[in-house]
Structure 1
C-alpha cells in the first residue's frame, strides 16, 4: 500500500499561538484542537514568542513544509471517493458490507490549512523599548506576503486568519512598569487598527480560501455581555480612560496574553471552522487516516 502520513494543521503566530499549547487555568487550546482532530490531522504549533510579521517572513520558507514531504491537509473541496470495508454499527465487531465513502483527508487530494495570528508585537508603539513595532501599512503588506508566499501557494491552503486580540492598558502598564519601562508599550486604540487591517485583508482574500477568525471582536463581545450595565463605549473598553476592567483581567494574564478563559473564547471561534464535514459522517466510517482496529483484526493486517 502507499505510505500514509497524517496531514497537518499548522498554527503559526507569535506568543499567543506558542502559549496556546500551555495549560492555563485548566484549559489548553491546542489540546482541545488535537482532541477535535484525533486520527485525522496532526496539529503542529509553530508559535514564535516575540516575533512580528517581518521576523516571520525572514524564516517563512522554513515553516511551511514542501508538499512532497508533508501535506498540511484539511478541508478538501473535491474529496476522493473510494471503496472501503466498514463495520455497519459501532456495537459490531464484524465487517459486513462495502460502502463508497467520502474521505476528505485522503493524501492525494488534501488541501492545507494553516492558522495565522500575528499582530500583537507589530502593534507595539513606535519608538518603544521593545523594538518590535511594524508600521501599519508594512504590517498589511507583510500579512499579504505571508498569504501569497510561494511555500503557501505550493500547498494551496485554506487559511484561518486571526485578528490580534485586544489589550487591557491598566493591567499591561503594571507589567511594563515591572519590566522597567517608563511608558506603555501598547495602546488599545493602536492595536485595534491592526485588528481592523486583518479584517480588511480577510475580506480582500475571501475568494482565495481565507477565512476570518475575529478574536478581537469575540473577546470584546464577551466583555460587553459580562458587564451590560457599563456605559463605556465598546471601543474604549481596555483603555486607561475607561478604568480597570475585571472581565478583561479574567481574559488576559498580563493585559496582553490570553488566560485560560481567553483561550476558551479563541477555541469557540476556531472550532466551527475545523472539521465541518465530520458531523456528517456515519459513526462506523470516520475519516481517519488509519482504519479502526476491528478492520485490522478482520483483515489480519493492513
Structure 2
C-alpha cells in the first residue's frame, strides 16, 4: 500500500435549516451540487436549523480556520430566513436588519482573514415566505406565525447590498422567486425549499460554482484508463486527471 494522501477541495454550504436539509428529498439543492461536483470536490453541509447570523457569526471560526481554509473552492453563505422573523413574535431568532448586514460583513471579513478569497464566496439571499402555508405549520406546533414576506424581501435586499459593498457574488433568490407566478410551489411548507425550489436554486448556483471549479482536475483516473496488469502504476501516481 502507499501513495500520497488525497485531499479533496471543498464546497462549504453554511447556513440554517434550508442548508441543513439540503440533502433531503425536497431540499435537495446540496445533493444536486454534490452530483455536479462528484470526483472534483466534496460538498460539505454546515447548516444549523434555527440559527441566525448572530449565532453563525460566533460558530464560523470553529468551522473554518487557516488550517482548512486553503482547501475551500467555494463558500456559500445562506442566511436570513430566521433573522427576518417578526421581532415581537420571535425575539429569540429575530435579528434587526442593520445588525444582520453587519453580521454578514463580519463573517466575510473573517473569511478573508483566514485566506478565503472574495472570488470564492457566494451569498444566497433568503427565499420568499408563504405566510399562509407557514401559518398552517405553526398551528400544528402551537406556535405563532412569525413570517412576513415583505420582511424577507428587505433582508434579501440587505444581502445584495452587502455583497456589492464587499465585492462578493450574490444569488438574489427572493427576487428570482417573486418574478415567478408559481413561486409558492418552490416552498414545501411556506419556509423551506420544495424539490422544485431546490432545483431552481441549483440552476442559479450551478454556473457560478462551475466558474469557480472548472479548472479543478478530476480525482483519480477513470476506470478505463487503469492499467489492469499493473493497477498500482495508475492508482498510486498523481491523483489528478483532466477527465474521467
TM-score (norm 2): 0.85
Q: Unmatched 5+ residue regions in structure 1?
A: 75-112, 224-246
Q: Is the 8 A contact 2:14 2:46 kept in 1?
A: yes
Q: Which residue of the partner structure matches residue 37 of structure 1? A: 37
**What does residue 242 of structure 2 align with?**
none
The 1-side partners of 2:89 and 2:15 are apart by 21
1:124, CA displacement in angstroms? 0.6
Work out the number of aligned pairs and report it. Answer: 228
Residue 210 (structure 2) aligns with: 275
Give the secondary structure class of the aligned counterpart of 1:31. helix
TM-score by length of 1: 0.69
* 2:200 paired residue number: 265
The one of 116, 124, 128 equivalent to 1:156 is: 116
C-alpha distance 165-296 of structure 1, shift in aligned 2 (>3 A): same
Distance 1:59 1:32, change over 3 A: same
Contact between 1:166 and 1:220, CA under 8 Å: does it hold in 2? yes
| Distance in 1 of aligned mates of 2:49 and 2:165 | 28
Closer, same or farther in 2 for the Cα pair 1:154/1:296, shift >3 Å? Answer: farther
CA distance in 1 between counterparts of 2:82 and 2:94 reads 6
Structure showing greater radius of gyration is 1
Shift of 1:276: 2.9
Equivalent in the alignment of 1:48: 48
Cα deviation, residue 294, structure 1: 4.8
Tell me, in whole angstroms, the C-alpha distance in 2 between the residues paired with 1:8 and 1:131: 32
The answer to whether the 8 A contact 1:41-1:73 is kept is: no
Alignment of 1:135-146 (within 5 A): 135-146=96-107
Q: What is the aligned-residue RMSD (CA, Å)?
A: 2.3
More helix by share: 2
Q: Which consecutive unaligned segments of at least 5 residues does structure 2 have?
A: 238-244
Q: Is the 1:9–1:43 Cα contact (8 Å) retained in structure 2?
A: yes
Alignment of 1:221-232 (within 5 A): 221-223=179-181
Q: Answer whether contact 2:81 2:152 (CA < 8 A) is retained.
A: yes
| Counterpart for residue 73 of structure 1 | 72
Q: Residue 174 of structure 1 corresponds to which residue in structure 2?
A: 136
| Cα shift readout 1:147-187 (whole Å, capped 9, x = no counterpart) | 111x5432323101011001011112222222223x43011
8 Å contact kept, 1:18–1:47 = yes
Residue 185 (structure 1) aligned to one of 133, 146, 160: 146
Offset, 1:256: 0.8
1:35-69 CA distances to partner (integer Å, 9 max, x unpaired)? 11111111001010000001111211111143x34
